[in-house]
Structure 1
Amino acid sequence: MSAGARPFGERLAGAIDATGRLCVGIDPHPGLLTSWGLSDDATGLREFSLRVVEALAGSVAALKPQAAFYERHGSAGIAVLEETIAAARSAGVLTIVDAKRGDIGSTMQGYADAFLREGSPLAGDAVTLSPYLGFGSLAPAIDTALAVGRGVFVLCLTSNPEGASVQLARSDTDEGRSVAATIARAAAALNAEELAAGGDPGASRSLGSVGLVVGATIGEAARAAGVDLVGVRGPLLMPGVGAQGGSAQSVRAVVGEAWQQVLASSSREVLGAGPSADDLRSAAARAAASLA
């Protein structure tokens, strides 16, 4: 299916309805490659990635290849990332390329062309973005994504300890809102506009295509920061489920009434069950069931 056929938020909502709200990260770091009996090079990277796609397509809502683990192998690794995205597309599973790009002007447009433009081999169904040069700096990527039915996930509230010093800081100019709340309000405005243009401005299960990245273990941080997650009306990509300590209970504690927007991401807990395809599927099924 062409990415431009339907908006990303609509396609993601359909995938969640069909398979549950689990996203599995494809994080081929050296330790995992070794534990799978694979070499830490482009050959091992390719074998790892394609095994994950083949095993999990059809049983999870999305796959999330982490671009850094491909980039560390240079051009050969980037070629494997392209092949992984293509394999996922052929298998009918959504991909979120975890690249966390953020820049300004023509440089941001360059990233948009790489990860979102129709026809680019690096374009999955969505990409992660960093808004810390100002949310407005992301406009080239967001505009490109929405024009072709793709999506973005903007970093909002992450679980790393260093993130709070930026994300929870209060603005002197934006009515004293936290940085995270300002990011969430900007995403909400874009989703409201997209959903209204699609003729569905009020349906409670509608998802816009501008999502947020919100850590699965941040506890009360969203409420403390004044972030209205329900009002975003976009998907909430929540990494950290499984080996990093996140659970369905911790996710619910973070999101409250925004549960229907959750796309929970697990990487190490599922990938550590490999390399057997059956074991990968079983681990993913357990993780998905815990979120049901």
Structure 2
Amino acid sequence: MSIDILIDKIRQKNNPSVVGLDPRIEYVPEFIREECYTRCGRNLKGVAQAILEFNKKLIDELCDIIPAVKPQSAYYEMYGVEGIKTLYETIEYARNKGLYVITDVKRNDIGSTAEAYSTAYLGKTQIEGDIYVDAFASDSITVNPYLGTDGIQPFINDCSKYNKSIFILVKTSNRSSGEVQDLMTAGETVYEKIAALVNQWGSQCMGQKGYSNIGAVVGATYPEQAAKLRKIMPNTYFLVPGYGAQGGTAKDVANCFNKDGLGAIVNSSRGIMCAYINKKYEEKEFAAAAREEAIRMRDEILNCII
């Protein structure tokens, strides 16, 4: 099962964290930008190449200490077709380095459209006859649940068919999440009802290590809600955004874990990508700064959950 693969990588690295690759061109050191602009021009292709070089160097520096990366598709889509190519190449490069790739796309729709989204990121696209190819060969993606079971089932089917996983939005880390997710309905919040559905959906594809391929997104910025959700979804792996730049701490994320020290993987994006800026390193040391921050994050989280 895909979730078993992720757990193995977490155990091998002794690190329950994932690095979010959410690059804007201004995060890329100037020397990389200028090299790529010289080759490709000051255009979308030059930007996309600079981001790809940035991503590759970060992956090279981090791949021995982290189990996974999480590229957010919006940060690539904003740079057009060239950005989409960079997303594809980033996924491919990370997987070739042995990393588990969670592509943060937050996709969903009804029926055949949900099937198409799932095919793009989890399944295989048919060219003709028995010729099938990977469009974006992700190990996992994020999914929006607010169209109900018929919008989720195609993703669940592909998880089982292609040995992939998904993380369904339950309680997100943003400040206004409560406007919808905290609404009370029939004595429960919306996020509690979604959690119960995730728990139900997850029973369709359980792994051998006690967790399902159907995971949940639970923000680090809401530790009390996380503790409640952990009880509702005992066999669900949590993808935990909101650590670091959004204000979540290692103590905040502790409630997302089970007593076995498993059950959650914590994301940091800007905190690691931009560590060289935050820690005032020289530009050429950006990858070393990212490594230092990734190790600090790992150790801080482990100290709070073990």
The TM-score, its normalising length taken from structure 2, stands at 0.82
Q: Distance in 2 between matches of 1:64 and 1:133?
A: 24
- TM-aligned CA deviation for residue 123 of structure 1: 2.6
1:100 and 1:127 in contact (8 A); partners too: yes
Q: Distance in 2 between matches of 1:287 and 1:251?
A: 12
Identify the range of structure 1 (126-135 vs 271-280) with the bigger mean alpha-carbon deviation.
271-280
Task: Name the counterpart of 1:206.
Answer: 210
1:53 and 1:84 in contact (8 A); partners too: no
**Within the alignment, does 1:75 sit opposite 2:81 as a pair?**
yes
1:221 and 1:254 in contact (8 A); partners too: no
1:86 and 1:121 in contact (8 A); partners too: no
Alignment partner of 2:23 out of 28, 38, 62:
28
Larger radius of gyration: 2
SS in 2 for 1:260: coil
Paired AA for residue 192 in structure 1:
S
Task: Name the counterpart of 1:123.
Answer: 137
Residues 98 and 258 from structure 1, CA distance in 2 versus in 1: closer, same or farther, beyond 3 angstroms?
A: farther
Paired AA for residue 185 in structure 1:
A
**Within the alignment, does 1:287 sit opposite 2:297 as a pair?**
yes
Q: Distance in 1 between matches of 2:29 and 2:108?
A: 32
SS in 2 for 1:152: strand
SS in 2 for 1:156: strand
Task: Name the counterpart of 1:3.
Answer: none
Residues 181 and 257 from structure 1, CA distance in 2 versus in 1: closer, same or farther, beyond 3 angstroms?
A: farther
Paired AA for residue 155 in structure 1:
L
- TM-aligned CA deviation for residue 258 of structure 1: 8.3
- Structural RMSD (CA): 2.2
Output aligned runs, 1:66-145, within 5 Å.
66-118=72-124, 119-145=133-159
**Within the alignment, does 1:146 sit opposite 2:160 as a pair?**
yes
Alignment partner of 1:181 out of 192, 209, 214:
192
**Within the alignment, does 1:277 sit opposite 2:272 as a pair?**
no
Q: Distance in 1 between matches of 2:262 and 2:185?
A: 30
SS in 2 for 1:194: coil
1:58 and 1:93 in contact (8 A); partners too: no
- TM-aligned CA deviation for residue 121 of structure 1: 3.3
Identify the range of structure 1 (30-39 vs 161-170) with the bigger mean alpha-carbon deviation.
30-39
2:111 and 2:150 in contact (8 A); partners too: no
Output aligned runs, 1:36-51, within 5 Å.
38=33, 41-51=47-57
Residues 36 and 267 from structure 1, CA distance in 2 versus in 1: closer, same or farther, beyond 3 angstroms?
A: farther
Q: Distance in 1 between matches of 2:11 and 2:172?
A: 26
Q: Percent identity, aligned pairs only?
A: 31
Paired AA for residue 247 in structure 1:
T
Aligned residues: 274
- TM-aligned CA deviation for residue 14 of structure 1: 0.6
SS in 2 for 1:220: helix
- TM-aligned CA deviation for residue 106 of structure 1: 1.1
Relative contact order, higher structure (CA 8 A, sep 6+): 1
Identify the range of structure 1 (102-111 vs 249-258) with the bigger mean alpha-carbon deviation.
249-258
Alignment deviations for residues 233-269 of structure 1 (CA, whole Å, 9 cap, x no partner): 1210101112222121011256675852110111111
Task: Name the counterpart of 2:236.
Answer: 234
- TM-aligned CA deviation for residue 18 of structure 1: 1.2
- TM-aligned CA deviation for residue 34 of structure 1: 5.4
- TM-aligned CA deviation for residue 228 of structure 1: 4.4
SS in 2 for 1:153: strand
